Structure 1
Amino acid sequence: MASSEVTSALKKLESSSTSQQDKLPGYNDLLEKIIATPDKAHLGSSLTAFIDSILGDNLGIVNARPLLKTAVEAIRSISDIDNKISAGNHALQTLEPRVVSFEEQDATIREVLADAYQENDEFLEAARMLQGIQLESSQRRISDDSKVKTWIRICRLFLEEDDTTSAETYLNRAKNLLYKVNDQELNLQFQLSQARILDARRNFIEASQVYHTFSFSTLLEESERLRALSSAVVCAILAPAGPQRSRNLAKLYKDERSPQMEEFGILEKMFLDRLLTSKEVAAFADKLAPHQLAETADGSTVLAKAVTEHNLLAASRLYNNIGIAELGLLLDLEPEKAEEYASRMLEQGRVTGHIDQINGMIFFDGRGGNGERVNTGYTNGAVRTELRGWDFKVQGITEEVERVSSMLQAQYPEFVAKAGA
């Protein structure tokens, strides 16, 4: 409740028969006293009573605007979060019927409340406050930088609550204006938000690439760059095994900063196509976020699926052929499940070879997949292999013919000219 001194001063101003213009100095003096008072316990309630008074019929819109602006800044200075939120929400409710006339003050109050909610770890409430800001207004000019900054902040707040759908909506709004923004910090925040959304949606290859690019920014502190690199490594490890992931792992492994990462051991094993042990996987799992340990459609976790596919790829480098039952033991899976993983990776072109279901064997050709979808039947796979070998031989012969022709041209130009004629 407002102090008795403030209450009586407001009643005196409201009941005065003087003009609105003449009341203005009195309201200014009172606001200065409210802000300067050492009794901070009543600051929020005194400001609330003051805002109610100036938004009534005592002052016109023109006179009320600067007073309201100062009062809102005073609300920002309230140290107690709950009192700040209470005063800010009351001010918003009082402004609601006349918000068109006080858009700038309404936006400032919402920003103050968003800061308070965020400090209280109430990220959804903070996002909702910022969503209420009118960014496409005919009453005031709002710069592209301000719009992008607000949208990216809303996006990041939704990401704190793992609401990637809402976050992506605001990231896309920012994306449409980002080319007009020269603020490098905003561009970095956009990249980080984009990486986090890709990560949350399990698009780990693209997320890793964005995180890796982000890790080179000189605007970030060294610790932040290393954290981004660590996220890039984690996403690369969780990505589906195949040529694209192998290229990404190579870039990260060759990064001179990578040996500083805790994940470097598992990164090195994956890059060198070595089998991963359950102990290594369990230690790595302790550092992952909940969405990175979520179950996939087949009942396995994201990490378990990534490790299984990697170990299968590593096995294709070690063995020319292996029994389906033995592959199951190697991958710690039932034979039927191991065959399902192998057939899917063969069909998607992430591993090359074929399956002999009659004899329960899997044959690898040792070259690794190129990412092209193929038919995994024995006959078709064998024909494709023979055709590739034939193509290489034909290419070699044509190159030799070209080389001999060039030598003749250099040593016996007259003979070649006559032969050509």
Structure 2
Amino acid sequence: MASPEVTTQLEQLAASPNPQQRLEGYTQTLDSIVSASNNLRDNLVAYVQSILSDNIGVIHSRPLLSAFVEKYKGITNNEVKTEAGAEIVDLIAPKIVSYEQQDTDLKFVLADAYEAEEDFTNSAKTLQTIVLDSSQGRNVTDDEKASVWMRICRCYLEDDDPTNALSYLNKIKNVIFSVKDQATRLQFQLSQARINDSQRNFLDASNSYHILSNEPAIDEEERLRALSAAITTAILAPAGPTRARQLGKLYKDERAAETPEYGILEKIFLDRLLSPSEVAAFAAGLQDHQLAKTSDGSTVLDKAVLEHNLVAASRLYQNIPLESLGSLLGVTADRAEQYAATMIESNRLSGSIDQISELVHFFPMAAGQDPNNAQAVDLTTRDLRTWDANITHLSEEVEKVSTMLQREAPEFYESVMVG
């Protein structure tokens, strides 16, 4: 409840017949309310109730409300700011058509106060009620709309709510090509990457992060951080040709060596087996949603590493018993068979499973061969291709030795060739 002296002053001002005296009186009363600071919340609400009353009229109340928003912005007590602000927004709501600009300015300040308290959901909800399709001739540009939607999206992301964040990101997609503000465009790209990341669309997230890492408008430290995020999400993506291409792109980026993830990136790109210690060190830097459990009880990282090591094993062996494969991957034989079958079925691994002999056969692939057709190659053809490749390699090595002898010991070379 407002202070008695403030209530009395406001009643007298509302009844004053002189608009000029009333304006000066309201200005002085607001100054005294803010400077006194006691019972501030109730006094501020009472002040706005008074200036919005029918006795004042819209023409005189608009400048008073604008002046109030400026004073409200300077209040340092966030608790008072949020509590009073929420009530004042409700007071303006029935008359918002007459006070669109003042309502918008007030909600921006209130949203700032919520964010200062790390109450991002209430900040987003406040910003959602801002009128962006004005019927009163107030021109709202695509840049302004995108800026508000972008801020709402970021607030929901801060509170780990990618579903609501995505709905506002989709709104921005409709106007992003006409948005000129570079900061909004960059925030859009970052939010898109974060949403894909949180929803475990890791390949899309990696691609978005990598694009950001090459954006010259961002400082070098942030670009390197985006590159690290691109590497991390690529590693977490399901094994397969698309992921391999993304890893290759990242591995060839000259800056990759500066990131902490470079060691594991290199081993994955070169199809080398990952040790438990390397995986544990990488997992220590992951976010909570990246360590969430999947339907089979394993984490996304566990699955990604297991699939990678399965591909790495296919580079080392032509065939391997399921029991040995399970030991190599650190899982049971049944689980190793399940993962191998899933990857073969989805064309992310070239091979076949002989359940009677309990063996997994891996199919070596010729350069440029479509993985979808790899299983159609018979065993004899595969063996011949392997033999041909070995003969070619041996011939090249013999030729190299011959050339070296001719260069380093020409007399010996001539005597041998003549003889």
Question: When the two structures are superposed, what TM-score results if normalisation uses the length of structure 2?
Answer: 0.85
Tell me the residue number matched to 2:409.
Answer: none
The secondary structure found in structure 1 opposite 2:378 is helix
Equivalent residue, structure 1, for 2:325: 327
**Quick one: which amino acid aligns to residue 250 of structure 2?**
L
| Equivalent pairs, count | 383
Structure 2 Cα separation of the partners of residues 372 and 12 of structure 1: 85
Asked whether the 8 Å contact 1:349–1:371 carries over to 2, the reply is no
Is the Cα–Cα contact under 8 Å of residues 192 and 211 in structure 1 kept in the other structure?
yes
Residues 307 and 149 of structure 1: CA distance in aligned 2, closer, same or farther (over 3 Å): same
Query: What is the one-letter code of the residue matched to 2:264?
Result: I
- Cα offset for 1:49? 2.6
Percent of residue pairs identical: 49
Question: What's the counterpart of residue 15 of structure 1?
Answer: 15
Asked whether the equivalents of residues 350 and 374 of structure 2 are also in contact (C-alpha less than 8 Å), the reply is no
User: Which secondary structure does the structure 1 equivalent of 2:353 belong to?
Assistant: strand
One-letter code of the match for 1:61? V
Is the Cα contact below 8 Å between 2:363 and 2:374 reproduced in 1? no
Given candidates 375, 378, 384, the residue that maps to 1:382 is 378
C-alpha contact 2:232 2:261 (8 A) present in aligned 1: yes
Query: What SS does the aligned partner of 1:257 have?
Result: helix
1:175-194 paired onto structure 2 within 5 Å: 175-194=173-192
| Structure 2 partner of 1:363 | 361
Asked if 1:117 corresponds to 2:108, the answer is no
Q: Which letter maps to 1:110?
A: K
Please name the residue that 1:300 is paired with: 298
Counterpart CA distance in 1 for 2:123 and 2:381 is: 59
Q: Relative to 1, partners in 2 of residues 1:327 and 1:142: Cα closer, same or farther, differing over 3 Å? A: same
- Further displaced range: 323-332 or 297-306: 297-306
Structure 2: distance between partners of 1:108 and 1:144: 18
Q: Is the 8 A contact 1:350 1:370 kept in 2?
A: no
Mapping for residues 51-66 of structure 1, pairs under 5 Å: 51-66=48-63
Q: Which aligned pairs between 1:6-405 and structure 2 lie closer than 5 A? A: 6-16=6-16, 18-20=17-19, 23-32=22-31, 34=33, 37=35, 39-41=36-38, 43-139=40-136, 140-367=138-365, 372-373=371-372, 380-382=376-378
Deviations for 1:194-242, whole angstroms, at most 9, x for unmatched residues? Answer: 0011111111111101001101112222221111111101001101111
Q: Give the counterpart letter for 1:106 in structure 2.
A: D
Question: C-alpha deviations, 1:86-135, integer Å up to 9, x for none?
Answer: 22112112112212211221122221111111111111111111111111
Cα offset for 1:48?
Answer: 2.6
Pair 1:370–1:230, CA change in 2 (3 A): farther
Q: CA deviation at 1:11?
A: 2.9
Structure 1, unaligned runs of 5 or more: 393-421
Partner amino acid for 1:191?
A: Q
Q: Deviations over 1:262-306 (max 9, x none)?
A: 111111111111111111111211211111111222322111000
Read off the aligned partner of 1:149 and give its amino acid letter.
Answer: S
How far apart, in 2, do the equivalents of 1:211 and 1:111 lie?
A: 29
Q: Deviations over 1:317-361 (max 9, x none)?
A: 111211111000001111111111111111222221222222111
Cα distance, 1:9 vs structure 2:
2.9
Of 187-196 and 317-326, deviating more is 317-326
* Inter-partner Cα distance in structure 1 for 2:49 and 2:352: 78
CA contact (8 A) 2:115 2:123 kept: yes
Give the distance between the partners of 1:213 and 1:381, measured in 2 at CA.
39
Tell me how far apart the structure 1 counterparts of residues 139 and 39 of structure 2 sit (CA, whole Å). 36
SS in 2 for 1:362: strand
Look up the SS of the partner of 2:75 in the other structure.
coil
Q: Aligned partners of 1:193 and 1:231: how far apart in 2?
A: 13
Aligned-partner SS, 1:298:
coil
Task: Determine if contact 1:346/1:374 at 8 Å carries over to the other structure.
Answer: no
Change (3 A) 1:263 1:105: same
SS at match of 2:216: coil
Q: Kindly state the Cα deviation for residue 169 of structure 1 after the two structures are TM-superposed.
A: 0.8
